[in-house]
Structure 1
Amino acid sequence: MAVINDFDRHPSIPKPQFASTSIVRQSFLLLIVYLSLGILIYSFNSHHFSGTQTHPVVDALYFCIVTMCTIGYGDITPNTTATKLFSITFVLVGFGFIDILLSGMVSYVLDLQESLLLSAAKADLDHRHEAAHAYFFDLKKGRVRIRMKVGLALGVVVLCIGVGTGVMHFVETLGWLDSFYLSVMSVTTVGYGDRAFKSLPGRIFASIWLLVSTLAVARAFLYLVEARIDKRHRMMAKWVLRQDMTVSEFLAADIDNNGFISKSEYVIYKLKEMGKISEKDIFQICNQFDRLDTGNCGKITLADLMENHQ
């Protein structure tokens, strides 16, 4: 074992990180820079935009947010070729920034909640071994995480609609029905244009509120679709595991055509039936195995590993 540990190995490939806090910070900084650039461009071309004016900087930020969130109330619109091209570019590029930012923030919150739930499940193993073990296994399957994502996203949507309704009623002096109407039309990015933010405090609030609420709605729909797909996959997995093997399935599962099915062949066949692995995945794994099996004996030995690492 000492010789193996001292053996010169190839550097290991680091595990990819998809929702690190560094990505969130970078996206947030890029979003600030991007909005600052949009405000600067708008300020130099403010006379080429038509609509209700309050404060130059606030109007610029408000227009950039409304455009980037694909709402488009119509209270401020570009009226020249240059400003129209600026609006097109701003919405196409900027929407990706806030999507990455919000998805990273949601993933960070979910990871934190999941780690706390996993810690609680592990601590409970001594008291309720079987129940806690089953609960821990269920968490590892990812079902609780999907439910958490759906609940969190829907909760944020409801909160945003409620906060928006209250602010519009007291700040924009709209009736409760019109406030609720404008709030829903805003977070769903409909933006008919019959109602909009006209006051300076209202536009300051909208510049922050719209950035969160519109993406929260989009994420909620995505998570609901993800939950339905996960439920369908689990139903398919249960159906596959309950089926008895027929002769045709036996022949399909016998990968090496030697007249019997090993446990590994059975596992691979069931995973294919569940849709969790494809022929392409199996082909790539087999190619990697053949590369490591330098002796062509159908198994990977320690000598094979040492030869591959030289």
Structure 2
Amino acid sequence: MESEPFLGNQTSYKPQPVITLNQSLSAPIRFPEIEDVTPTPSTPPPSLGPPNTLLKKPGTLHRCKTAPAMVVMREFQPSKPQIPKPLFDSNSTIRQGTLLLSMYLLLGVIIYSFNTDHFSGIETHPVVDALYFCIVTMCTIGYGDITPLTPVSKVFACVFVLVGFGFIDILLSGLVNYVLDLQESMILTGIEMDKNRNHEGFSATDYIFDVKKGRVRIRLKVGLALGVVVLCIAVGTLVLYFLEDLDWIDSVYLAVMSVTTVGYGDRAFKTLPGRLFAAIWLLVSTLAVARAFLYLAEARISKRHRRVTNWVLHRDITVEDLLAADMNNHGYISDRLMN
């Protein structure tokens, strides 16, 4: 009996797990005395993410304030051909613009031709004077050389100038935009085909056209617009000098006042050939000046956008930016657009 151990004080031996401080809480606990016969799972355990991720509904879309890198997007080549930029039907657009312009001018010529005694001014030919009066009114120049006298003619002038102002702003500008866009697309297509056929790298055409963005550079647009304005002034000056018998100063003066639609009225077209020329020249030159002003405004806006973009890209990220990036108020920034 003495050799037998005391059963009341006998305790069973239990193996203790060995846990180190370096061990992660997600790692399994191992017992050194017990052989691990459990097969290792083939899939890793799920990561412990924020608790709110388990409560999200599947298929929820989230906004993303960041855009893909422009460098990566430019080098990306789509597998399927992209849908080309839609262009307006050339036949319908040109036909509609020509028809409405012809109707507008024809109506004005008919009304003026049968009521010449209701207007004051130097007369050359009833039809030419009527066409000249309609163009000057539609372009909002107002030389004052031909003016209405009676109440009926004044009402006609008011209606005619209001309709003409909207007409030249909508229809003729649309036609000019269509022609310019069509010409630009043809030039860009030719340059892109030439680059694919010859060699890759920077060339002189890259300074003028931005093939990656698919548009003409703004500096070329401004240059062309200013060049057209200077050309219109030069042509008008030459015609005024030879047809209207004006000196060079008065010719340049009248050309600039006409192109900019100021029209003080101290100088105007008085001869029959001069008024025929003015009917076409004023229509083209006023649209060219308006387009030049739009391109100059576009250049200033584009320069401001580049300056703001550089400031945003080079500034340091603040805490306010990180808080603003948490659009769902989850307390963290997710890099997934869809859960």
Provide TM-score, normalisation by structure 1: 0.73
**Residue 66 of structure 1, CA deviation:** 0.7
Matching of residue 116 in structure 1 with residue 170 in structure 2: no
Matching of residue 183 in structure 1 with residue 260 in structure 2: no
**Residue 45 of structure 1, CA deviation:** 1.8
Partner residue of 2:11?
A: none
Matching of residue 248 in structure 1 with residue 320 in structure 2: yes
Matching of residue 226 in structure 1 with residue 302 in structure 2: no
Matching of residue 91 in structure 1 with residue 193 in structure 2: no
After superposition, where does 1:120-159 map in structure 2 within 5 Å?
120-125=191-196, 128-129=199-200, 131=202, 135=206, 138-141=210-213, 144-159=216-231
**Residue 117 of structure 1, CA deviation:** 3.0
Matching of residue 260 in structure 1 with residue 330 in structure 2: no
Cα separation, 2, equivalents of 1:263 and 1:88:
62
- Aligned 8 A contact 1:50 1:78 in 2: yes
Amino acid at match of 2:333: F
Cα separation, 2, equivalents of 1:17 and 1:117:
15
Cα separation, 1, equivalents of 2:221 and 2:86:
19
Of Structure 1 and Structure 2, the greater helix share is in: 1
Which deviations, in whole Å up to 9, do the C-alpha atoms of 1:246-272 show, x marking residues without a partner? 1111111222233014276xxxxxxxx
Q: Which runs of 5+ in 1 are unaligned?
A: 1-13, 265-297, 300-310
Provide TM-score, normalisation by structure 2: 0.67
Partner residue of 1:36?
A: 106
- Aligned 8 A contact 1:63 1:76 in 2: yes
- Aligned 8 A contact 1:20 1:108 in 2: no
**Residue 152 of structure 1, CA deviation:** 2.4
Matching of residue 197 in structure 1 with residue 234 in structure 2: no
Which deviations, in whole Å up to 9, do the C-alpha atoms of 1:162-197 show, x marking residues without a partner? 111011111111111111111111111111111111
> How many residues align structurally?
252
Cα separation, 1, equivalents of 2:296 and 2:86:
24
Could you say what the CA RMSD is over the residues aligned between the two structures, in angstroms? 2.8
- Aligned 8 A contact 1:161 1:180 in 2: yes
- Aligned 8 A contact 1:121 1:135 in 2: no
Amino acid at match of 1:225: A
**Residue 20 of structure 1, CA deviation:** 4.9
State which drifts further: 142-151 or 232-241. 142-151
**Residue 116 of structure 1, CA deviation:** 2.0
Fraction of identical pairs, as percent: 60
Partner residue of 2:4?
A: none
Distance 1:114 1:147, change over 3 A: farther
State which drifts further: 118-127 or 93-102. 118-127
- Aligned 8 A contact 2:210 2:217 in 1: no
Which of these two proteins has the greater Rg computed from alpha carbons? Answer: 2
Amino acid at match of 2:281: W
Cα separation, 2, equivalents of 1:25 and 1:60:
24
Cα separation, 2, equivalents of 1:53 and 1:77:
12
